[in-house]
Structure 1
Amino acid sequence: MEKAQDLRFGDMILDETCLFAHRNGRKIQFTRNERALLLALTRNPRRLMPRDRLLDEIASESNVSDRNIDFLVNRLRVKLGDSAKSPNFIATQYGEGYVWIAVPSSVAPIDALLVIAPAFGLPGSPFSRQASSLIDQLREMIAEGVGDGHNVIVAEDWTPTDRLRYFLQVSFFARNGHLDCAATLREMPSRRIAKALRLQLDMADAASITNEASRVSNGVIEVLRKALGHASTGLGIRAEEPAETRLQKASSVLLSTNPRWVEGGEQLGRDRKQDPDNADIALQWCLHLFTRLTTTNPFGEMSLEERYRMESEIDATVLDCLPAIEANPLLMLAAAKLLYFINRGHLELAEDILERAFAQTTDFAGALPVMGQLRYARGQFDEAVQYFDRGIAMVELNPLYHIHIRVLKCLALLAAGNHAALEGAVPTIDPDIPCPPEIAWMIAWTFAPADQELPQASADALAAIGPEGAIGAVEYLYFTSARHLVSEQARANLMHNLIAHVTRFHGERVVPAFILRSIGKVSPAEHTHGQTALEAGIGARLKY
């Protein structure tokens, strides 16, 4: 039998020996019999394990006489937070045995600004209670100091990875009746030490522990606030503005709907001429061009030649700026987003810039959509959705940010062919939000199932744009959302609904040949009921 590996099931991590599990920073320990039962089940996933087989597994691991499998399973379910009626981990096969039904999930980024990783090494130590108290106080003080929207968690036995987080390792060493303690704050993924402190603890004095927790917390908060401040200056956001104001502005500064990019083109053009070597102004100008490309009327207002010219200008300008922006993570985020968007073969470069910027910005809301988009491009749709969901959870941010990131999530679900999840995720656009009606129609047609009739108002709008407008709509979706996908199948998934709707109204000629080539050859098969040959050919290739 192969050795079991560490497994992640949602928010629970089960270690390879089944001695313990971790969930949200809490350690779950198992008895010897529970461990033997878990090993037998997890090493035989989705296989029926009869009661007598499970009894044998326990007998081989323990001399305890209690072999009541049903009792042990119920005890495991309590520890795992499982339900017999609606199981996520252990299903009952009545009259026969049990089945491990949980499917391992991919490793997700830890959703936290800071991970506190205590290294206790104090089993049975008389100082265990004081050490745990210190860790709890550190977490509470730091969380309060950095403010809402930035999670601080404790994860014992956590191993630092390349997931781009700050982590605070607090090490304890007990000897000769004394407890030595040191705290080291590191920046990820570089592992650069940002702060290191030795703690002076008097175990007999609770006030000593609180004072030292406060001293360490203040040092850590200073570093984190400085990082958050650096992440929110540039692109027109001034360093002298209050930190909360800067972070609020920075959350939406990379959106194409930002009024500064929509309305400020003339002033940016003048600023660019006056100071052509200023990388910040140059990237602001590129964001203006990006906004013109994404907020233009989709129904044929911009020619392909004009689009190519603007994207070429963005390409050359961003590449020229790269050496000058390494010290400013917000400018790096802008560069990564722009290089991703123009789709000129810079995906790896954009990923490198973004990873290094994100390491400095931590859980900065403005970075989450860009992180998700680059995962989306690679076809890592589960990870992309996790980043988008983290942005959606930041309820204090403005409505335009929320609409933007919800649409990005739906595009990822559509590209993945996950229609079940998509059905409940499509956002309703509040009429009070200033979204151009043409863009609102594009959102509606993109996510409306291809095999369903459009609502009357939506159908009337699609009919009214005519064949030329339909060509523009297909090109718009392709250039803004589909061409970035590495997978041909994912591009086909993304374009399918819109192509089905526009061809139903305006015929197959409204789909440009270069787009058909990008999503794969479409078989000129005979028509199926209710579909054109084009729809049938694409539909046959989709993942339902």
Structure 2
Amino acid sequence: MELRIGFGSLHPVLCSRVSFLNRRRRDWSIWLGAGSKVFWTDFTSAKLGDDTVYFSAAESRLLEVLSRNAGRTLTRGQIIDAISGDSSEKTDRSVDFLVNRIRRKLGDDARNPRFIGTRYGGGYVWLGPPAPGPSAVQATEADIMVGPLRGLDLLGSQKAAGLAFAQYLAEALGVDGGGTVTVEADLNPASSARVEPALFTVELSFFRDGEAPGCVMSCRSSLSKQVFFVQRLSLMRESAPYPSSKRTAENLVPDILAARWRVDVDHMASSEPLPVAMQNATFNNSDAPVSWQDNDVQLAKLRADRPDDPVLALIYAHHLHTKIVISGHKTFRSGLDESLEIDGEIERLVQSALITCQDNPDLAIIAAKLLYYVDRRYKTLALELAHKANDSGTAVATSMAILGQLLAFTGDIDAAVDLLRQAETLAAPKSRFRHYVHFFLCQALVAGGRRAELEPVRAELYAFHPLARLFYEPFMTDPDQPSLRARAAMLSMSKARARATLSYGHRISGGLFERAEHRANSMRAPVKLCVRRFGRSVVPEEGAVSVPSLLG
């Protein structure tokens, strides 16, 4: 069937002139099945079989913006910015209204679209081939960016399949990665206008693999600048909606996220403590917190692939320690059995990694901390590893913080405070590492009875998170004049929870101090608050044995 742009009953000379101008402007066509849609390059009309449809100025501008950014999800805000110069319609609802009008004119089903796809929570994406001309839309600030998409034109009739795979990959990354994802099909990596994504970029290079589309995927971390995942893929030759490509994309995402998590942990651990690095590697651009389970998912995949990796063993050991720290009283509600079982696993993992860790100061300092935590009989080895790491490592702030905590535990509060003050100075303002250092510093000052120095450090510790004061106050308050907030926290507890809270405080802090007076100072405030409300029976056996002076 011959398809032509209709010129109505124009004079033959004028018709010839229009045809000449049209050729100069490079007509743009989208071929679908047995029919076609042919658009004017100014997007004012389109030929639909024997019919012509016309678009308003706002609809034309929206068509132009979407089609010149084919495969790229544009937010409603981006669309508004791009079309507002030619239209007074500037709200999110007006964008939705324009899209619906265009869909009706094109006969495009929103549930099975051929032209304009909806990305819920994201915006709209043009599903057809790109129109000629500049984008006019700046790259989106996002957590993850899929693009550029190279070699799409090599796929011929399967070009739409390549675009669909990129979009399916973006959708799966958005679901599992927990952040915002954008597809930038024609992004120039060297462009000064490029907006670097917060987490990583996925570049796709397409080629013909026989009759089917082929693709090489390359993922690069925005943090470390390292390529952390490369894979060659053979996609099936298929028709819309490309179900095999969707399954392939969804199956790849867990591997991509696990590899990214590992490379960013390795990179960040060179400048901040491993637990902070592990947490930061799983945060998205909005700083929404993640759970211990989120890290567990990443580590499970990595350990299954590399069960004998000593570095992964150490990372997992600290991961288990983190479980105890962040679980609070919950781990201790049924006694110490679960905690002791975790301690045994931590000890086994650290021992398996120790030979490798000794030659890496940044890992040795973590091994030192964990060994002392699981058994104070490792004191000599732990201090030896920590001092050596502090003397030779490049992650100076990290080693100062951890060695400072170990020195406080083993009785040298003055040396501990000196190192922690230096680490505090080196820490970036309002960073998680600075929060980490402030906790250690408060811990040392409380144990050393240096309460006069505590207040400014405690204030900054509490300022880090709205719930920090509620969590720390029963341990940091003046034991002789407890704050109203500390008393209120105690009133909200049952006896079982109060007992578990004391077990928790003793396990991660008070019981780690070697000197009796430091243990007593560390636990005095929470013990007095609990005993005042519930009596002496609330104090768990390990606490009564460790700090008997508090019950005398």
TM-score, reference length from structure 1: 0.48
TM-score by length of 2: 0.47
Which is greater in Rg? 2
Please identify which structure carries the higher helix content: 2
